[in-house]
Amino acid sequence: MTINFEYETEIPLDLDYEKIITSVIEMASDYEECPYEIEVSVVLTDDETIRQINAVNRQIDKATDVLSFPMLEYEAPSDFTAIEEEEPDYLFNPDSGELVLGDIVISVEKVMEQAEKYGHSNKRELAFLTAHSMLHLFGYDHMVDEERMVMEEKQNEILNKLGIVRE
């Protein structure tokens, strides 16, 4: 597994963010039974930059906590059969052979703001946003209540398996 990290803000997040994010990505991949070694890019940034990315990519001109940019289109979440049947080369890093799952962009400002708002640690909020984003990279969504409830349950199970619970 390869995780490409970029820390693109002057705002310090005083925790071992690489370790936390890596553990959540590994757990989410195992939890969803991904049959491939994966590559994920993670950018930690500020509200202004994530606002700009949100405006360009989603036409929503406001800061958000996390953005997910999946490389795959699934017939159903975590259904890897289309890849297994076709194995399109463009989905795999030619150097490592890893499945390029997609990109995650997290606002460090929102991590701290939401941790305070919800009464838990920055670690828990960062882990939550990473789990949430990984589920998007695996094809889950939360546009309707049924999908939202599935995502919430999976997020909680991933974090519980890591012992990262609400305080």
Please give the annotated binding residues for Zn(2+), written as ranges. Answer: 132, 136, 142
DSSP summary character for residue 143: S
> Is 157:31 a contact under the CB 8 Å cutoff?
yes
> Is 124:140 a contact under the CB 8 Å cutoff?
no
Q: Can you tell me the distance from the alpha carbon of 44 to that of 31, in angstroms, rounded to the nearest whole number? A: 24
Among residues 162, 159, 141, 158, the alpha carbon closest in space to that of 150 is found at 141
Q: Can you tell me the distance from the alpha carbon of 63 to that of 46, in angstroms, rounded to the nearest whole number? A: 9
Please give the annotated binding residues, written as ranges. Answer: 132, 136, 142
DSSP H/E element including 101: strand 99-107
